[in-house]
Amino acid sequence: MITAKTPWKDHIGDMPFTLDYFQGTMFEGLERQAQLHPGNIAFDFMGKSTTYREMIKGIEKCARSLKTIGIREGDKVTIALPNCPQAIYMFYAVNLVGGIANMVHPLSSEKELEFYINESNSVTVVTLDQFYGKFEAIRQNTKVVNIVIARIKDELTRPMRAGYMLTEGRKIQKIPADAPVIMWDKFMQLGKACFWNYKVERKAEDPAVILYSGGTTGTTKGILLSNRNFNALAQQVIAANPMFRPGDKMLAAMPIFHGFGLGVCIHTMLFSGGRCILVPRFTPASYAKLMVKKKVNFIAGVPTLYEALLRLPGMEHADLSSLKGVFSGGDSLSIELKKKLDKYLSGCGCPVQVREGYGTTETVTACCLTPRHMYKEGSIGLPFPDTYIKIVEPGTDKEVPYGEEGEILLAGPTVMMEYVGHPEETANTLRKHADGLTWVYTGDLGTMDEEGFIYFKGRSKRMIVSSGYNIYPAQLENVFDASDLISMSCVIGIPDDYKMQAVKVFCVLKPGVPKTDETKEAIMAYARKNIAKYSLPKEIEFRDELPKTLVGKVAYRVLEEEEKAKLEKEKKEA
């Protein structure tokens, strides 16, 4: 068997092979830290700090209010909030009363929100005042009983509140006085009527969270995750980063509705006694400012975030000496971007390099990370403790030799419980093998070397087949991103009468590079030198920027849909 279950001690000398996992709930993990470090800061939000003692009191107060409005064990509560204190209180309060937190993006469309609420059978929604209209418009199509409305200004200091109301606050449409909602301040007072036991006894293996992902088929599904899934992730992340100390600060800019943001930036830190710097709305400028001002110890983001930071003026000589960990995930980090980022970090006094990770929402988020002292070019690292990875012939359980490409399979304590309401796809994705382990079929392609290092090669559902050749867009993007002319690229397949599919590359050019035919020819000349003939692009299109998903990845599907619509229009006109 050539499965990788990493003996990290052999590689970095300070990480256990296996861990002793906490057997409580997510809330109980935080409660333990509050007992150990009651006066430590749990999170900062726009200039206001909250201690672990205060955080636990806020969660318990919120839990009593949930009990008062009728939330019972197993009930689903949709949380559509940015990274703010109310999101922290509500997320863990739902856990405390035995409910299941349904995490969704508040900027989703009305139809998407309706889908998320109905898919989860949510009975209560918590969102911000600025999103009230969307939820009220779809309410009659759902089983929602209560909508709780939070406001950013309620969690600000008096000076910050005044500034907020003069800028962002004045843009928010006032909610009608007779609106059928519960305002957050009134909601938090409802708990005074709760005289019975609001703490529901739950186990580590009980369901706790629903996150959303396209799964292996690309259609949106709710992924049901347990207390153990999240707590195991937190312990694995800290074990992979033994330089962490309680009180260390992490910039929590990745959103709370996403596994990366919720699992790593928030829960891992709070479960371990860390300090979250909550960022409700990301911009490269605000991110950079907080990173320097707060002297953070850990940052995590997708490659597009780091690309934006590198292009930000005024950051050339920032003091980043406080950083202990810089992590990239959610999308492939090109070799060229890693080199540029490492050079930048070094020039700013940062003692560490960026470390790439890999994972899927089916395992909460990361389950594989580059070790601190052993980087291999192009590798996404080694599996976390107690996590197994193997490479098989796609769709089978037959492992391929070292170095040969196949489908990436994952097993370990963070593997999801199920896709909510999709038993057939759950059965296709979670399969028990003869080794007794339940494996996640990721649909991703990769290789493994003889030391257990994993190399991500692309997503099988994002493969271009041209004249019988398999072409992987992520690999081509690595090549184009390394060009002196291109800042960022995205490669898609377009229909071709002869080849079935041909390659098209969308390019964001570097500042000062003209959008001319000469530039296209220079890119083609570069491509001919660096990629196989069958992978050469048929078309090159310049863009000022590339579309992004809600979590900041390049939205290649949007470009594919645009090309499809353009082709259909041309056919009609012909």
Cα atoms in the 13 Å half-sphere on the side-chain side of 168: 13
Separation CA 344–CA 356 (nearest Å): 16
For residue 203, give both structure tokens. 């186990």
- In this model, does residue 40 exceed pLDDT 50? yes
Separation CA 331–CA 20 (nearest Å): 30
Distances (CA, A) of 196 to 18, 79, 123, 145, 550: 40, 25, 21, 22, 40
For residue 200, give both structure tokens. 């529901």
First to last CA, the chain: 57
- Give pLDDT tens digits for 473-503: 888 898 899 999 999 999 999 988 767 789 9
Q: Please report the DSSP string for 501-554 in residue order.
A: EEEEEEEEEPTT---SHHHHHHHHHHHHHHS-GGG-EEEEEE-SS--B-TTS-B
pTM: 0.84
Q: Does residue 186 sit in helix, strand or coil?
A: helix
Q: How many CB atoms lie within 10 A of CB 238?
A: 18
Separation CA 545–CA 541 (nearest Å): 11
Classify residue 176 by its DSSP letter. P
More confident position, 308 or 434: 434
- Mean pLDDT for 494-515 is 89
- Mean pLDDT for 97-122 is 93
- Mean pLDDT for 16-20 is 81
Give CA angle at 95 (89, 96), nearest 5°: 85
Is 209:225 a contact under the CB 8 Å cutoff? yes
- Mean pLDDT for 83-101 is 98
Alpha helix positions (H), 385-441: 423-429
For residue 72, give both structure tokens. 């019972």
- Give pLDDT tens digits for 197-250: 899 999 999 999 999 985 555 467 999 999 999 999 999 999 999 999 999 999
- Mean pLDDT for 152-176 is 77
- Mean pLDDT for 374-390 is 94
Nearest to 295, CA basis, from 321, 314, 272? 321
**pLDDT mean across residues, the chain:** 91
pLDDT of residue 4: 52
Locate CATH 3.40.50.980 in the chain. Answer: 25-202
For residue 34, give both structure tokens. 């509050």
- Mean pLDDT for 460-477 is 76
Q: How many CB atoms lie within 10 A of CB 353?
A: 17
Query: Confidence class of residue 560 from pLDDT cuts 50, 70 and 90?
Result: very high
For residue 529, give both structure tokens. 């030198």
- Mean pLDDT for 266-278 is 98
**Three-state helix/strand/coil letters over 28-52:** HHHHHHHHHCCCCEEEEECCEEEEH
Separation CA 180–CA 145 (nearest Å): 10
Give CA angle at 60 (39, 28), nearest 5°: 70
pLDDT of residue 5: 47
Locate CATH 3.30.300.30 in the chain. Answer: 463-573
Percent of the chain with pLDDT strictly greater than 70: 94
- In this model, does residue 1 exceed pLDDT 70? no
CATH class, domain 25-202, is alpha beta
- In this model, does residue 12 exceed pLDDT 60? no
Nearest to 122, CA basis, from 113, 131, 111, 130? 113
Is 318:344 a contact under the CB 8 Å cutoff? no
Separation CA 403–CA 454 (nearest Å): 9
Q: State the CATH architecture for 463-573.
A: 2-Layer Sandwich (3.30)
